[in-house]
Amino acid sequence: MNFLKYIFGKTDTNDQHESPIPTNYNLLARKAIELIGRDSREMDEEQLRNHLLTNGVPELEARELIIFLPMAFCRQLLPELSWPSSYYDYFADETKIKRKYSDNKRYMVMKEETEKYWTGNPNNEWVLNIAGRSAEFNAINQLLNSGGRLEDVGLSESFVIRR
């Protein structure tokens, strides 16, 4: 089955935003930090999705964790950057919806669990394994590798492509 269909799911523009957040979402986020941080270095996105599912993470939650946990880690890793407060959900029917990260309950739990992870003794390899999955991290890395400076980084709102 096509990975994009796996990760981006249905075409309903409100599906993940109207479905209730599981009461144990903080535990799922912690589990994802461990699974992605420890195990995902050599995995592509489909393998990671299957790994999360095999380890008890429900489908919708696996999709959202794969998308937003790396963003949360990248923001925590580089707090000195001016990060946008919103992103766009972009759907197959070309509908584009601007959303605030602060309105995304799942993201806010991931952000909280990321901050908790950081207050402990974060494993640098895990941090890079997770943050390195974000488009933002990769764009910043390319800029720095081509001689750019961190203070030159300007970030725009991300697009989350959903199906």
| Beta carbons of 89 and 96 less than 8 angstroms apart | yes
| Beta-carbon count within 10 A of 122 CB | 17
Residue 70 and residue 107: Cα distance in Å, rounded? Answer: 10
Number of DSSP helices (H) and strands (E) in the chain, helices first: 8, 3
The helix/strand/coil state of 133 is coil
CA quadruple 115, 108, 102, 129: dihedral sign: positive
User: What are 21-76's pLDDT values in tens digits?
Assistant: 999 999 999 999 999 999 999 999 999 999 999 999 999 999 999 999 999 999 99
Task: Work out the average pLDDT over 104-124.
Answer: 96
